[in-house]
Amino acid sequence: MQENIRNFSIIAHIDHGKSTLADRIIQECGSVADRDMSAQVMDTMDIEKERGITIKAQSVRLDYVKDGQNYVLNLIDTPGHVDFSYEVSRSLASSDGALLIVDSTQGVEAQTIANVYIAMDNDLELLPVVNKIDLPSADPDRVLEEVEEAIGLDCTEHNLISAKTGLGVRDLIDSIVDRVPAPKGDTNAPTKALIYDSWFDSYLGALALVRVYEGSIKKGQVVRMMNTEHEQQVLSLMYPHPLKKQQTDEIKTGEIGIVVLGIKTVDIIAVGDTITDAKNRTPQAIDGFEPAKPFVFAGIYPIDTDKFEDLRDALDKLRLNDSSISYEPESSAALGSGFRTGFLGMLHMEVIKERLEREFNLDLIATAPTVVYEVLKVDGEKISIQNPSELPMPNHIDTIFEPYVKATILVPDEFLGNVIKLLNDKRGVQNKMDYIGKRVLLDYDIPMNEIVMDFYDRLKSTTKGYASFDYEPIGFREGVLQKLDIKVAGEVVDALSIIVPENKALSKGREFIKALKELIPRQLFEVAVQASIGANIIARETVKSTGKNVTAKCYGGDITRKRKLLDKQKAGKKRMKSIGKVNVPQEAFMAVLKI
């Protein structure tokens, strides 16, 4: 029955216990037998279990009995990392309530605040939950005060739990049943369902995870995607479950389920699209999601150039599962054919590259990540630049605009000096600074270019891992920037070009060249590695030549025999230097990421 359905998400900062709580709720509802249970049972990808993070939001349908009444709980476990906030927004759009998990030892963090705002935008019922109360350093009262102070959320009704031991979990499920509203919607209206996730299955084709808002979806029904205007018959329907999907003949109003349409191409199903009946259509589509805007761009190239079409196919299939990536073909003189790919952040880039390599058996090189710049040319034309090699010559540029983000950082007051120094190094502009207990909430505007490389790592190391960080884009501002080119043996390696602030060009160039000198293998001739801005060389290192012993076979005899061979070698080296080609190894491109 519709009034006995509860759709809810779990939101929290990284490592505050979302996936562990999901495990306990699943166990408490008896949906997975103890022998089949594993830690983070909702995290189905190997990469998630290895890194200990959730990358994809996962759904599960659970049955629960309270006071003799049967309830259906649709639980959605969401990621905590800032790079995957798009997954969180999609999950919350298909929920009616959310559990806000806060660690009782760490309190409110940057991502906690960001997730609460997304939940509030979706008008969700928020249930404050304090986790890890079994730890000796737990202080639930202080944490609840912080939630009220930093977020303004009333915590009179709250739950104290330990997701690890299961303490308080049954009471929490009772609170979900009592406080999360039942889904609204007319059961007799035409079919109206929102696709909020999709993925590709080798046997079943493209699958859509939907929330039905009105009417129902039946097996054998011919449905229509309202955006792509494609019609298809429903082959089968399932309820989501991490281990065993349960078949059903109908998904009713308020329910969440998987629709199998037998589609083999990936361009028909779009996340955010509305499914309706082909003959009896709903008059208005559901508001979908704003398409995710990539912040970080990098070139992805197959090491084996024959694998270009395989990479295209892999990206097509992966995009069905992660609609926040964008890509278009590009070619590089150094690396051949590949794709300019857009990501939501550095962790997202790492994860996508690793998934492409693991799930599709590809060997890939990723170039240095860059952001999108807007360039106003002297003739008044405005262009967007994703790749540094596309930047016009300096005499054609009037102004370069770079993207800025609003960064929210929570840091213990003892590390405040370190963090402010780091933010000043990164050209940050302070907006405000508030004290919440013994911690400081910093609000800064920072150029996106400065945070895509190593900002997160440096923030964690300067604060011993205690700082938390969240950001959102706020538009473009004028910047004083230049393109830094790298030349190896006189040739510009386009894949190593980066755009840098004018005052950092010299130091960046020197750092870069020093790293490359160690990585480029020695040749039979000297190799010059140079950093240049336009026609000006600003830094240079030389990779010394390696000698081949041409006189090894001359045992004794006249010295002129050896001299003759050495002169011949010298002439050969001269010729080799003028036409020699140097292979830049993959490690060199990785070094760029480190710098």
Half-sphere exposure of 436 (CA within 13 A, CB side): 24
Where are any strands of DSSP class E within 19-124? 58-66, 69-77, 97-103
CA–CA distance, 75 with 22 (Å, rounded to integer): 8
Buried-exposed string 237-266: b where 16+ CB fall within 10 A, e elsewhere: bbbbbbeebeebeebbbbbbbbbbbebeeb
- Residue 18 assigned ligand-binding role: yes
**Are the CB atoms for 78 and 20 separated by under 8 Å?**
no
- Residue 409 assigned ligand-binding role: no
- Residue 406 assigned ligand-binding role: no
CA–CA distance, 181 with 366 (Å, rounded to integer): 46
Indicate the pairing of strand 364-366 with strand 296-302.
antiparallel
**Are the CB atoms for 531 and 564 separated by under 8 Å?**
no
- Residue 348 assigned ligand-binding role: no
**Are the CB atoms for 424 and 442 separated by under 8 Å?**
no
CA–CA distance, 590 with 595 (Å, rounded to integer): 9
- Residue 594 assigned ligand-binding role: no
Residues recorded for the chain: 595
Supply 430's token pair.
Answer: 């302070």
Task: Provide the 10 A C-beta neighbour count for residue 154.
Answer: 11
Buried-exposed string 407-438: b where 16+ CB fall within 10 A, e elsewhere: bbbbbeeebbebbbebbeebbbeeeeeeeeee
**Are the CB atoms for 337 and 331 separated by under 8 Å?**
yes
- Residue 15 assigned ligand-binding role: yes
- Residue 461 assigned ligand-binding role: no
Angle at CA of residue 48, ends 261 and 31, nearest 5°: 65
The neighbouring-strand residues paired with 475 are 404
How far, rounded to the nearest angstrom, does the alpha carbon of residue 402 sit from its chain's CA centroid?
Answer: 21
Report the amino acid identity of residue 353.
K
- Residue 53 assigned ligand-binding role: no
In the three-class reduction of DSSP (H, G, I as helix; E, B as strand; rest coil), residue 24 is classed as: helix
| SS3 sequence of 306-358 | HHHHHHHHHHHHHHHHCCCCEEEEEEECCCEEEEEEEECCHHHHHHHHHHHHH
- Residue 115 assigned ligand-binding role: no
Angle at CA of residue 426, ends 422 and 429, nearest 5°: 95
What residues contact 424, with CB distance under 8 A and at least 6 apart? none
Classify burial at 400, counting beta carbons within 10 Å of its beta carbon; exposed 0-12, middle 13-18, buried 19 or more: buried
The neighbouring-strand residues paired with 408 are 443, 470
- Residue 396 assigned ligand-binding role: no
In the three-class reduction of DSSP (H, G, I as helix; E, B as strand; rest coil), residue 475 is classed as: strand
Report the amino acid identity of residue 210.
V
Residue positions in the annotated binding site? 15-20, 131-134
Binding residues for GTP: 15-20, 131-134
